[in-house]
Amino acid sequence: MAEQSKTTIYVDVDDEITNVIDKVLDSSAKVIALVLPKRPSIFQSTVNMKLLKRKSQEANKKVVLVTSEANLLPLAGGVGLFVAKTLNSKPEIPSAPVFNESIIEADEDEPLMIDQNETLDKDLDLKNSGAKTIAQLSPSEPLGSLKTKLDKDLDTIDLDNTELNNQSNDDQTSEPKPKKTKKDKKEKIKIPNFRKFKIISVLVILILLIGILGYVALSVLPSATIDISTDSSNVNANVSFTMDPSTSSLNLASNTVPAKQVKVTKTYSATVNSSGQQNNGTKATGQVTFTACYTQGPFVAPSPIPAGTGITQNNLTYVTNSTATFNPVGNAQGTCVNYTTNSVNITAQQGGSSYNTQNNNTSFNVPGYTSGFSATGGASGGTDNIITVVSQNDITNAQNKISPNSNSTKSKLSSQLTQDGYFPISMTFNASQPTVSENNQVGSQNSSVTVTESITYTMYGVFKKDLNTLLNNNVVSQVGSSESVLSTGISNANFSFTNGNTNPTQITVQTTAVVGPNINVNLIKTQSEGKKIAQIKSIVEGNSNVTSVKVTLSPFYVSSAPNNPSKIQVHIAKPTKTVN
C-alpha cells in the first residue's frame, strides 16, 4: 500500500490522549493535521503535549495542531509542536512562555516537574539546529529561535483537505480577519450610481409610454363609419316545399329539397315509495239465509241465487259458496209474502278482522236484485296481516314526477344538424308518445316502484342554399329580374306545416326579403382608405341608387379614414317601403 504524504484526523472532545496517539501511529501519512475541538481538555496538559510530540517523533511523523484556542498556543510552543489556525494556514511554532524557573507548570490538575538538567532537545529534535533550549533562553528572549529546520520543513506543508475548511472556520469564530492586500483593494467592487440609474429608468419608461400612446392614438383608436341609404324595398316571400331525406338534389319543378332527419331516444325514470296496503290475514266465513219479500202477486218463489253471488255489509263484500234455493211456499208476514232459502256458506272477499260481524243476525244487501231481496246471517274468524303493496296511485305519482327536458334535447338535435351542414327547422322537432314501464306491478309486495318512460325525439334540417334559391325565385317572380335580391330574410324566416301537421315533411316558409341596388361593401371600404369625408361621400354617391351618405370619423382629432379597411364600417339602411 502506498504511503500517504499527509492526512487529517479529527479529535473528539471525549477522546483520551492514548486514543489520539493511536490514531497518529495508525496513519500511514508522514504529515498529520490534528483538528482539535473547542476547549479540548486533553491538550490543556503539557504532559499530553510532550507525550504526543515524543511518540510522533519516534514514528518519524510530523504533527500539526489545527486550532485557534489562545490558551493552547503557549503550551504547543513550549513543547515545540506546530500549530495552524486552519487547514489552509501555514503551520508555525507559537511563542513559548518565558521561564525563569526550572519547574514548568502545565495543567493545574497535572503538574509536571522537570529536572533542571533536562532539556527539550530530544523532544523538539533541535540538535544541530543552533536553537537554544528553554532553559538557555533569557527572560526577555522570545522563542523565535525555535523556528529551525523543522520550521523550514513544514513551511511547505499544504493541508488541502478543503471539505473540512468550512467546519474549521465555523468552529474557530475567534480567528482574526486577514489584512487586505493592495491587490484586494484594487479588486474592490464599485457601487453603482442608483440615482443615475433611476433617472435613466424613468426616461425609458416615459419614452415607451409616449410610443404606446402614440400608436394607440394613431393606429388603434381611429375609425370611420359610413351610413348609406338606398332606394331598396321589402318584399314578402312565401314558399311551400317538401322535405325528402331520400333525395340528394333540389327539384325546382316540385319544390322538393334534400333533407336529413336526426333522432335520439331519451329515457327518464322516477321512483316513489309504495303506499298501498293489503290485508293478508284470514278471511272471515259464515252463513246467511236469503229472503224475498213480495208485496203483490204473482206470489211465486224466485229463482235460486247461484253460488259466487256477492253480498255486502258496511261496504264489505262476501261471496256465497253454494246455490241458495227458495222454498216454493211463502209465508205472509205483514204486508209481505216472504220466500226464504236454505242456509248457504259465505266467505269474505279479503282477509281481515273488519269482516267479522257482531252477531249471526246481521242484515246483508244483495246487489243486482230488487229491493225486496235481503240476507241475514253472520261471519267470523277473520284476522289481520297488513302488508305494504304497490298501488295504481303509486305508479301514477311516479309518472307525474317525470319531467322530460325537451328543450335541451331540441338544442342538441339542432346543433347536430348544424355541424352536418344543414339548416335546422326547429318547428319540425317532435316527441313520440312515451313508452311507460314499471319494475313492480300493482298489488306486489314491494317498498317502492320505479316508472320508466322512453321518448324518441326527431328533427329535420335542409340545406340553407336550397331555401335561399326557392325564396330568391319567389321574390324575382314578384318584382322582376331588374331588381337585385339583397337578402332573402332566411335568418328571420317563419316555418309552418303546409297541411296542418298531417305530414311533417310539408313545410311553408315566410320571409321578408330585401331588393334594391347591389352595393359592394368591401369595395367601398378599400376606396375609402385614407380619404377625407368629402372624398368618401363623392365615391359612394357615384352609385345612382344611393340616396344619401353620412360619414363619421372618430376620435375627434381624426381628419381622414384609417388606412386599415377593418377600421371602416359600412352600414346600409334598411328599406322603409314594402312592395306588394
Q: Which regions of the chain are under pLDDT 70?
A: 1-4, 97-192, 500-502, 579-580
Grid coordinates of 539 = 365615391
Is residue 575 situated within a structural domain?
Answer: yes
Pair 266, 334 in one domain: no
Model confidence pLDDT, tens digit, residues 499-511: 766 678 899 999 9
Rounded to whole angstroms, the Cα distance separating 181 from 293 reads 147
Of 384, 413, 429, which marks where a domain is finished? 384
Same structural domain for residues 469 and 457? no
Q: Which domain holds residue 544?
A: 221-250+463-580
Residues 570 and 478 in one domain: yes
Last residue of a domain, one of 108, 137, 171: 171
- In this structure, are 442 and 557 located in the same domain? no
Q: β-strands 373-380, 283-294: how paired? A: antiparallel
Taking the CA atoms of 236, 237, 240 and 244 in sequence, report the sign of the dihedral they define: negative
**Grid cell digits, residue 84:** 495552524
Say if residue 580 is in the same domain as residue 433: no
Q: Say if 182 falls within a structural domain.
A: no
Q: What cell does 159 get?
A: 493541508
Element (H, E) at 376: strand 373-380
Alpha-carbon gap, residue 8 to 65, rounded angstroms:
10
Residue 229 exposed, middle or buried by CB count within 10 Å (0-12, 13-18, 19+)? middle
Q: Which residues contact 306 (CB under 8 A, 6 or more apart)?
A: 320, 323
> Of the candidates 573, 438, 444, which has an alpha carbon nearest to the alpha carbon of residue 517?
573
Residues 28 and 117 occupy one common structural domain: yes
CA dihedral sign of residues 424, 426, 430, 431: positive
On whether residue 188 sits in a domain, the answer given is no
Identify whether 180 is part of a domain. Answer: no
| 199 and 155 fall within a common domain | no
Task: Examine the domain organization and report whether 409 and 349 are in the same domain.
Answer: no
Instruction: Identify whether residues 30 and 116 lie together within a single domain.
Output: yes
Number of domains composing the chain: 5
Distance CA 274, CA 389 (A): 6
Say if pTM beats, i.e. exceeds, 0.85: no
Q: Are residues 522 and 448 in the same domain?
A: no
Please give the pLDDT value at position 148.
Answer: 40
Sign of the dihedral defined by the CA atoms of residues 277, 280, 281, 286, in that order: positive
> What pLDDT sits at residue 458?
94
CB 172 within 8 A of CB 67: yes
256 within a domain of the structure (yes/no): no
Q: How far apart are CA 539 and CA 258, in angstroms?
A: 44
Cα separation of 200 and 283, whole Å?
A: 108
Residues 25 and 131 both lie in one domain: yes
Question: Which cell goes with 169?
Answer: 472556520
Instruction: Note whether residue 125 is domain-resident.
Output: yes
Enumerate the H helices of 87-235 as residue ranges: 121-124, 149-154, 165-171, 182-186, 194-215
Spatial neighbors of 340 by CB under 8 A, at least 6 apart, are 289, 290, 291, 292, 326, 327, 331
Pairwise CA distance, residues 477 & 524, whole Å: 30
**Domain end among 136, 171, 206:** 171
If asked whether residues 512 and 421 sit together in one domain, one would say: no
Q: Is the peptide bond before 192 cis (omega within 30 degrees of 0)?
A: no
Q: Which of 204, 196, 242, 289 has the alpha carbon at shortest distance from 466?
A: 242
- Is-contact 56 24, C-beta < 8 A? yes
What pLDDT does 139 receive? 36
Which has the closest alpha carbon to 257: 463, 504, 498? 463
In a domain, 523, yes or no: yes
* Residue 512 within any structural domain of the chain: yes
Beta bridge partners of residue 332, listed in sequence order: 337
Burial letters for 264-280: b for 16+ Cβ neighbours within 10 Å, e otherwise?
eebebebebebebebbe
- What pLDDT is attached to residue 238? 92
